[in-house]
Amino acid sequence: MDNRHASIRSKPNFDIRRMPGFTLMAFICLLCLYGPLVMMAAFSFNASRSVTRFNGFSLQWYEQAASNPYVQDAALLSIKLGLGATCIATIAATMAAMAMTRSKPFKGYNIVLGVTIQPLMVPEIVMAVAILAFFALIKQFTGIQGFGYLLLAHSMFCIPFAYLPIRARLESMDLSLEHAAADLYATPWQIFRRVTLPLLMPGILAGAMLSFVVSLDDVIISMLVAGPGETTLPVFMLGQLRRGFTPEINAISTVLIAVSISIVSLVFILTMRKR
């Protein structure tokens, strides 16, 4: 019996990295994912207008994009839209997560949860068409136009992205601290402000950052819902691509990728924190 147990313990554990072809497949996947991004970033520093031949290092396309008034207006609109949608979505997601995790189970809990995260499972084009039809009906009856519709559309789409990390943070928190505060006669608002909110802040920041990235990179919803003069940066880039591909688009895309990577890295750091 002892020899049998010793032989079982001596057998090597399963390691997928030792399977034949795993290293090659992993390399091919990484190459397909990041190879185009690296090439795009490299040609954004090309001295010529060619997007296939590198003729020297230059920052002229970054300077041209930065001095382009259309790029400036589109970037400012995207930032304003992203910040507004992030604030609305984060507040709504925090309230929803608190209600779902700090209340007793109720009938229809799974239905409410499904409705909250439904935009993650619905194709974006379907969501955009539905929002467009809904807002068109509102505009017809009220006659009100403006930036608010685009802001509301982005906020609705960003709520699930903010909800998931906030909910995950709430579920991992120790309730004994909140119970101790209640035993010390703290009001519900004092418990939330002094105990729950500080512990929840990493999840809130992670959800806010994800919402901002989603809003900043959105094309389909912005294209269908935006009114006259409401051209976001991704929509502007798509319009420029229809006229012809230039290294200026590479430069703008590289900046967006750098911003997205920075924000996602911060989200990863915040979500990995245990305290």
At 63-83, the pLDDT tens digits run 888 898 998 999 999 999 999
In whole angstroms, what is the distance from residue 219 CA to residue 206 CA? 22
Q: pLDDT at position 10, please?
A: 47
Q: What architecture does CATH give domain 66-272?
A: Orthogonal Bundle (1.10)
8 Å CB contact between 78 and 217? no
What is the pTM for the complete model shown?
Answer: 0.80
Q: pLDDT at position 93, please?
A: 92
Domain map (residue ranges) of the chain:
16-58, 66-272
At 87-112, the pLDDT tens digits run 999 999 999 888 888 777 777 777 77
Q: pLDDT at position 81, please?
A: 93
pLDDT along the chain (275 residues), means of 10: 49 66 84 86 83 81 89 91 93 90 75 77 84 84 81 90 89 84 86 88 89 89 84 88 81 88 79 59
3-27 b/e with 16+ CB inside 10 Å = b? eeeeeeeeeeeeeeeeeeeeeeeee
